[in-house]
Chains A and B, each alone.
Chain A
Amino acid sequence: MPEALLEIDRISKRYGDVVALRDMSFEVRAGEMFGFVGSNGAGKTTTMRIALGVLAADSGEVRWNGSPITFETRRRIGYMPEERGLYPKMKVAEQLAYLAELHGSGSAAARRAADVWIERLGLTEKRDEEVQKLSLGNQQRVQLAAALVHDPEVLVLDEPFSGLDPVAVDVMSQVLREKCAEGVPVVFSSHQLELVERLCDRVGIVRSGHMVACGTVAELRSGGTERVMVDVDGAGYGWVDALSGVRVVERQGSRAVLELERGVDDQEVLRAAVAAGRVREFAPHRPSLTELFRNVVTEEAAA
């Protein structure tokens, strides 16, 4: 059996004069969690809706296990739309069983699956309540259950973490990790970049409908200039000006982040720091995904 693989291949979509997507490409493999980040309106939701066949692309192709995705294969995707979609007046258990049946499960299997996910996501007490009467957080859990209830082979989740309390975030993360470990490729979009950094194996950063950076967080970090974080007691940072190819990027109290141009030896910098004062801290500085995101997005904007 071929390994599960979801490929988004050079998808473009325009609305009149507005380009929503331009050659959007990425792929997600079995057991991989892919984080999809970008500013509002960058094209994340459009990409996901095209993958689900809810929207038609102008050009490009979505492939599942090597073949273009069809109506039948789409049924194996678990989807959580950005704007939540459930029948407001339908009871939780009935609704989940109905969605499972629509995705091809038999009646008995559908009810069983609904019960499994209701219990797993802590909704047991709410199983016979109408969805509209639940809190937003609980509605979100039902929405996740709706994406999982037919035991999908791929998960495509648009902003699954938005509006969740910390406990629900943990439950959701745990479920996604488990699915991932079962070999299900998972794609989700989020603005919570720390969460993406913590959970995802790979990250794609989108800007204006185009993928501008894609890879593991470590890969995204490499290639940039080297940075070090120093904390030198009392002396200020005037000494940095004497070093060529080094500049202060950021200062926070007695700490500073220095950017070293290629070829500059960090040991030289350390010696200069020791000469300047009492060094409390000297460490390579790894930019967070948030900083990477900011850099990527602003670099492109400037270009």
Chain B
Amino acid sequence: MTAPTSPSGSTALSPARGVMLVARRELRTRLRSRSFVIGTIITIAVIAAYVGFMYFMGSSSSHVNVGLTGQATAVAEPLKTASKAMGKEVDTQSVSDPATGERMVRDGDLDALVVGAPGALKVVVQKEISDELRAALDGLTRQQALDARLAEAGLNPVDVNREVANARVTVSTLEVPDPQQDQRKVLAFASLFLLFFSVQTFGSMVAQGVVEEKSSRVVEILLSTVRPWQLMVGKVLGIGLVGLVQLVIIGGVALGAAIGADVLTLPDAAVGTLASVLGWYLIGFFLYAMILAASAALVSRQEELGSVLTPVLMLLMVSFFVGFTLLRNPGNKLVEVLSLIPPFGPVLMPSRIALGVAPAWQIALSVGLTVLAVVGIAWLGGRIYANAVLRTGGRVKLREALRTE
């Protein structure tokens, strides 16, 4: 009989503790690594710059400063009303004389200077006039001309205008229009990109980690105490959590910034999208990471890694590019079908959810199929990994790796 304990009092290692120890090592070493910290900071900086840019663009393009001088001051209120109807905020101010006004336009204090009588308005701008402002001013001038003619013809301009304003076409829509379509597209693109980026980054990290252990031969020591599946699952779990941490940080910061800066006005949909991205990331990552781990176990050196990773990452890339179609045509049939089946589903379905075009049964089906695939891949990948990870020297053929020992 064997002695039950060793002198150091060490006890038998439960499978769960083996997995936990491996995962904890990955988490600890990778969360502290310079590449993770710098990568996260850079991504946040890029998002901050983008949100800031959008905010600046939004505020500068929707606000116009217009100076009015002489008789033109009378059109201040109608100009504001007309511009607002076209989605432009106009701030007006009276300017003492045209010369002062022109100087202010030249200095950039005013976007435009309006002079002349209401029936014959003239605009001075630095280089070009925005379409909305031109349309608003044109409308005012035409209204003046029309009012004058109406008065000549003996009609009351006020009555005629009211009548004209009430006459409009009746629109009946076949589908309920979504006024937030544009914002939904932003969310859809963000989830598409985040999923692609995270699964690719952290999936590759798993593959590199597998080869690192194999090429440094530390795997020989590890496998004399933990089983191959424990090592593989622990590694995938640990690196998956690292990716989740980064996704939560990046997603949270982006969401906070976008809502805070009023770039995004759909907080509920945005939070929902982030939650769905996190969920889909987990199953999508497990699927790809286990394929990548098993593929990486077939090679012995980092230099050979590209040849086995490319086909797998290609699938991910295809999903990503197919996803772009959604932004132009959210109802695309091909994407709809692909979003149901792994390995495309985890990248495509979240975008469709963000766009609001995925029925519940399709979401459920896609989740179900992906989870099934994860289970299948875990079994198959675990077997390939176990058979290949200790064979060093050359590249192991897939057929050999699948053979039972």
Chain A residues within CB distance 8 Å of chain B: 1-2, 49, 52-56, 64-67, 71-77, 79, 81, 83-90, 94, 98-106, 109, 113, 146, 150-153
Q: Are A54 and B11 in contact (CB under 8 A)?
A: no
| Residue B224 CB within 8 A of the other chain | yes
Q: Kindly report which residue of chain B lies nearest to residue A76, judged by CB atoms.
A: B6
- Other contacts beyond A102-B226, A152-B6, A153-B7: 18, CB < 8 A: A65-B3, A66-B1, A67-B1, A67-B2, A71-B227, A86-B216, A99-B221, A102-B225, A103-B225, A104-B10, A105-B8, A109-B9, A109-B10, A113-B8, A150-B6, A151-B10, A153-B3, A153-B6
Q: Are A81 and B221 in contact (CB under 8 A)?
A: yes
Q: Which 4 A-B pairs have the closest CB atoms?
A: A85-B217, A104-B10, A151-B8, A85-B218
**B residues in contact with A81, CB < 8 Å:** 217, 220-221
Chain B: minimal CB distance from A176 (Å): 17
Q: Kindly report which residue of chain A lies nearest to residue B226, judged by CB atoms.
A: A102
Q: Are A73 and B224 in contact (CB under 8 A)?
A: no
Chain B: minimal CB distance from A224 (Å): 38
Distance A66 CA – B2 CA, assembled complex (angstroms):
8
8 pairs, CB–CB < 8 Å, chain A vs chain B: A54-B390, A65-B1, A81-B221, A88-B212, A90-B29, A94-B29, A109-B8, A150-B8
Distance A164 CA – B9 CA, assembled complex (angstroms):
32
**B residues in contact with A109, CB < 8 Å:** 8-10
Q: Are B12 and A104 in contact (CB under 8 A)?
A: yes
Name the residue in A75, A106, A109 with the highest tally of chain B Cβ atoms < 10 Å from its Cβ.
Answer: A75
Chain B: minimal CB distance from A61 (Å): 15
Q: Are A151 and B220 in contact (CB under 8 A)?
A: no
User: Which residues from 288 to 326 on chain B have a C-beta closer than 8 Å to any C-beta of chain A?
Assistant: none
Q: Are B212 and A146 in contact (CB under 8 A)?
A: no
Distance A2 CA – B2 CA, assembled complex (angstroms):
8
Q: Are A101 and B8 in contact (CB under 8 A)?
A: no
**A residues in contact with B227, CB < 8 Å:** 71
Name the residue in A54, A71, A73, A102 with the highest tally of chain B Cβ atoms < 10 Å from its Cβ.
Answer: A102
Name the residue in A65, A76, A88, A113 with the highest tally of chain B Cβ atoms < 10 Å from its Cβ.
Answer: A76
**B residues in contact with A105, CB < 8 Å:** 8-10
User: Which residues from 226 to 255 on chain B have a C-beta closer than 8 Å to any C-beta of chain A?
Assistant: 226-227
Q: Are A85 and B220 in contact (CB under 8 A)?
A: yes
Given A151-B8, A151-B10, CB of A89 within 8 Å of CB of B29 = yes
Distance A23 CA – B225 CA, assembled complex (angstroms):
26
Given A74-B225, A77-B224, CB of A103 within 8 Å of CB of B13 = yes
**A residues in contact with B6, CB < 8 Å:** 76, 104, 150-153
**A residues in contact with B217, CB < 8 Å:** 81, 83-85
Chain B: minimal CB distance from A97 (Å): 10
Interface size on B, residues (CB 8 A): 33
**A residues in contact with B7, CB < 8 Å:** 151, 153
Chain A: minimal CB distance from B279 (Å): 31
Distance A81 CA – B218 CA, assembled complex (angstroms):
9
**B residues in contact with A1, CB < 8 Å:** 3
Q: Are B2 and A55 in contact (CB under 8 A)?
A: no
Q: Kindly report which residue of chain A lies nearest to residue B3, judged by CB atoms.
A: A1
Distance A71 CA – B9 CA, assembled complex (angstroms):
18
Chain A: minimal CB distance from B231 (Å): 10
Distance A101 CA – B24 CA, assembled complex (angstroms):
11
Q: Are B13 and A85 in contact (CB under 8 A)?
A: no
Name the residue in B13, B219, B222, B224 with the highest tally of chain A Cβ atoms < 10 Å from its Cβ.
Answer: B224
Given A89-B29, A151-B6, A152-B6, CB of A104 within 8 Å of CB of B221 = no
Distance A101 CA – B10 CA, assembled complex (angstroms):
9
Chain A: minimal CB distance from B85 (Å): 63
Distance A102 CA – B6 CA, assembled complex (angstroms):
14
Checking B9, B28, B219, B222 against A102 with a beta-carbon cut-off of 8 angstroms, the contacting residue is B222
Given A98-B25, A105-B10, CB of A53 within 8 Å of CB of B224 = yes
Q: Are B223 and A54 in contact (CB under 8 A)?
A: yes
Q: Are A102 and B216 in contact (CB under 8 A)?
A: no
Q: Are A52 and B220 in contact (CB under 8 A)?
A: yes
**A residues in contact with B371, CB < 8 Å:** none
Given A55-B390, A101-B21, A102-B18, CB of A87 within 8 Å of CB of B216 = yes
**B residues in contact with A94, CB < 8 Å:** 28-29
Checking B1, B12, B28, B221 against A146 with a beta-carbon cut-off of 8 angstroms, the contacting residue is B221
Q: Are A52 and B224 in contact (CB under 8 A)?
A: yes
Q: Are A88 and B8 in contact (CB under 8 A)?
A: no
Checking A49, A98, A104 against B11 with a beta-carbon cut-off of 8 angstroms, the contacting residue is A104
**A residues in contact with B221, CB < 8 Å:** 79, 81, 85-86, 99, 146
Chain B: minimal CB distance from A222 (Å): 36
Distance A89 CA – B30 CA, assembled complex (angstroms):
11
Chain A: minimal CB distance from B238 (Å): 12
Distance A86 CA – B9 CA, assembled complex (angstroms):
24
Distance A145 CA – B110 CA, assembled complex (angstroms):
76
| Residue B405 CB within 8 A of the other chain | yes
Distance A113 CA – B1 CA, assembled complex (angstroms):
27
User: Which residues from 92 to 115 on chain B have a C-beta closer than 8 Å to any C-beta of chain A?
Assistant: none
Distance A1 CA – B219 CA, assembled complex (angstroms):
33
**B residues in contact with A79, CB < 8 Å:** 220-221, 224
**B residues in contact with A152, CB < 8 Å:** 6
**B residues in contact with A101, CB < 8 Å:** 21
Checking B10, B218, B224 against A87 with a beta-carbon cut-off of 8 angstroms, the contacting residue is B218
**B residues in contact with A100, CB < 8 Å:** 10
Checking A74, A84, A113, A151 against B224 with a beta-carbon cut-off of 8 angstroms, the contacting residue is A74
Name the residue in A66, A99, A146 with the highest tally of chain B Cβ atoms < 10 Å from its Cβ.
Answer: A99
Given A54-B390, A74-B225, A109-B9, CB of A64 within 8 Å of CB of B2 = yes
**A residues in contact with B12, CB < 8 Å:** 72, 75, 104
